[in-house]
Amino acid sequence: MHSLLAALAFTTVWTGIALAQVKPAADLIVSNGKVWTVDKNRPRAEAVAVIGNRIVAVGTSAEIDAWRGARTRIVDAQGKLVLPGFNDAHVHFVSGGMQLDNVDLKDAATPEEFAKRIGERARITSKGEWILGGDWDDQGWSPPRLPTKEMIDGVTPQTPVFVDRYDGHMALANSVALKLAGVTAKTPDPPGGTIVRDAEGNPTGVLKDAAKSYVEKLIPPLTHARRLRAVKRALELAASVGVTSVQDMNPEYEDVMVYSELLDKGELTARIYAAPPIAGWQDQAKIGIRRAFGSSALRLGALKGYADGSLGSTTAYFFKPYNDAPNTRGLLSSDMHPISKMRDRMLKADAAGLQLCVHAIGDQAISMILDLFGEVARVHGNADRRFRIEHAQHMAAKDFARFARQKVIASVQPYHAIDDGRWAEKRIGAERIKTTYAFRTFLEDGVRLALGTDWFVAPLNPMLTIYAAVTRATLDGKNPEGWVPEQKLSVAQAVEAYTMGSAYAEFQEREKGSITPGKLADMVMLSDDIFRIDPRAIREVKVETTIAGGKVVYGE
């Protein structure tokens, strides 16, 4: 008996030693941080241990030090704030990357600089590719004057150029592009457009509004190489601002092919959930792709539809007319003509197990989509569908409760609030702005928020989104205390919506969204503690290190 106990005791000790010896070393440790985990079970910590692409332990620096091995990479956070990686729930990733990849003319301060930048671009542009984008601003030149094809013809003898003014209402073509388009002194101005001409009546290269289509229709579709370059630029930017997951709205299928190619090469540094247009719902349905199908790096299974337009163009669809355009209350999108088409697609897509994300901005458009979502749920019975309304900008007060009851996710972009907030009241009046970008009311009514930017429409940088959500200070500086300040979020609410909220919106809340053992090791380290500093300073905060899947993809 005695010897048996001794043997047992011995065994226990021995097993303990053995366990200690086989406990694997971490590949990466983040230590000495102020870790804000977004995990209610352990809201704060100092350090995180990672093996492979997963978090294995979260604790004090001393506790986590036990995971240190000879080859463990240590990221010393030096007391800085560590958060889960940001998950942007609504981006247009390739358009954003294209914008980064295009020639940048916005701050070209003279015609010479304008020509120099186009010439430099022409030298690295392959045959057949166009020089596009640009966003030039002739008002920045002294004296202001429209650019001409002569300014750039010398540096672009073979490359077609069609560069936009920043407002999108005019563009400059060079002689190569005009020749391809067949635009000459004899070409008439089209209805709604102007060909700018010199004293002899010859086109100067600038085409206004409808005249742009003479050249636009010749611009070839994106080449694979160009698309690949755009995605790489987008991934680089995402890593530099701490975005480790994006939900890509309306990608072309070729975009998904590029993501897949980069994934295969180990170069996909942000996780992507792709939501192609609802019109193509059968493409995913016919091969059995369902919501959140794929790997932690690349998923499909969502669809993006449109209910209406935008506030800026007075096409968001409201119950009542616009205050500054009383003859209209907006327009339903082509997806909604007729509404039975949207209903039919939704029902079929839902039957196929696909997730529905619908752009709806005006109060009536939102209401109609809630009606349709309700109908789908009634017809097909309860399920964990996570219907989403993208933007959800202008709510009818009566709709918050059912938004929550129907468990619809509000996928919102706070930066739009500080942008549109400059002029929205003039457009929709004092009453309707109370339920505009109503982030706080959504949360109080039990609606789940997912945060994003709509990049390229707004900047991808999450610090600007958080700044917008917590200050609601409009970009014109006229509302320093906040525009509709009762709708401000706290920093904690904004961070949670941008991490767990967005993860939930893509069925990934068990995989990411918090710094929790077992989850994917996606983390960011910030230059300043956004919970402590003056909220007005949040927009200056930088991401110092971004870790995606246990790899440092930006910073030290």
Which chain residues interact with Zn ion by CB under 5 A? 454
Residues 443 and 402 sit within 8 Å (Cβ to Cβ): no
User: Which of 524, 501, 493, 540 lies closest to 34 in space, CA to CA?
Assistant: 524
User: Which of 135, 163, 147 lies closest to 111 in space, CA to CA?
Assistant: 147
Report the nearest approach of Zn ion to the CB of residue 89 (Å).
11
Beta strands in 92-210 (DSSP E): 103-104, 131-136, 161-165, 170-173, 193-197, 203-209
Q: Which residue has the tokens 């057949």?
A: 128
Closer residue to Zn ion (CB): 75 or 342: 342
Task: Return all residues near 9 (Cβ < 8 A) that are at least 6 apart.
Answer: none
Closer residue to Zn ion (CB): 457 or 552: 457
Residues 45 and 58 sit within 8 Å (Cβ to Cβ): yes
Return d(Cα 315, Cα 338) in angstroms, integer. 17
CB neighbour burial string for 187-209, b if at least 16 within 10 angstroms, e if fewer? eeeeeebebbeeeeeebbbbbbb
Three-class secondary structure of residue 294 per DSSP? strand
Q: Which residue is nearest to Zn ion (CB)?
A: 454
- What long-range pairs does 373-376 form, CB within 8 A, spacing at least 24? 373/346, 373/406, 373/408, 374/402, 374/406, 375/343, 376/346, 376/347, 376/350
Report the nearest approach of Zn ion to the CB of residue 454 (Å).
4
Return d(Cα 66, Cα 60) in angstroms, integer. 10
Residues 199 and 191 sit within 8 Å (Cβ to Cβ): no
Distances from the Cα of 551 to the Cα of 92, 239, 296, angstroms: 25, 11, 15
Three-class secondary structure of residue 439 per DSSP? helix
Closer residue to Zn ion (CB): 96 or 134: 96
Closer residue to Zn ion (CB): 84 or 362: 362
User: Which of 384, 407, 397, 473 lies closest to 435 in space, CA to CA?
Assistant: 397
Report the nearest approach of Zn ion to the CB of residue 390 (Å).
7
Report the nearest approach of Zn ion to the CB of residue 238 (Å).
16
Report the nearest approach of Zn ion to the CB of residue 284 (Å).
20
Phi, psi of 218 (to 5 degrees): -95, -15
Closer residue to Zn ion (CB): 177 or 237: 237
Return the structure tokens found at 525. 């380290």
Return the structure tokens found at 451. 């945060």
Closer residue to Zn ion (CB): 159 or 393: 393
Report the nearest approach of Zn ion to the CB of residue 299 (Å).
18
Report the nearest approach of Zn ion to the CB of residue 201 (Å).
42
Closer residue to Zn ion (CB): 88 or 454: 454
Q: What is the DSSP string of 100-112?
A: HHSEE-TT--SHH
Report the nearest approach of Zn ion to the CB of residue 457 (Å).
6
Closer residue to Zn ion (CB): 361 or 500: 361
Closer residue to Zn ion (CB): 53 or 453: 453
Return the structure tokens found at 344. 């039919």
Q: Nearest-5° angle of CA 179, CA 184, CA 185?
A: 160
Report the nearest approach of Zn ion to the CB of residue 313 (Å).
14
Closer residue to Zn ion (CB): 315 or 490: 315
Report the nearest approach of Zn ion to the CB of residue 91 (Å).
8
Report the nearest approach of Zn ion to the CB of residue 184 (Å).
39
Closer residue to Zn ion (CB): 58 or 410: 410
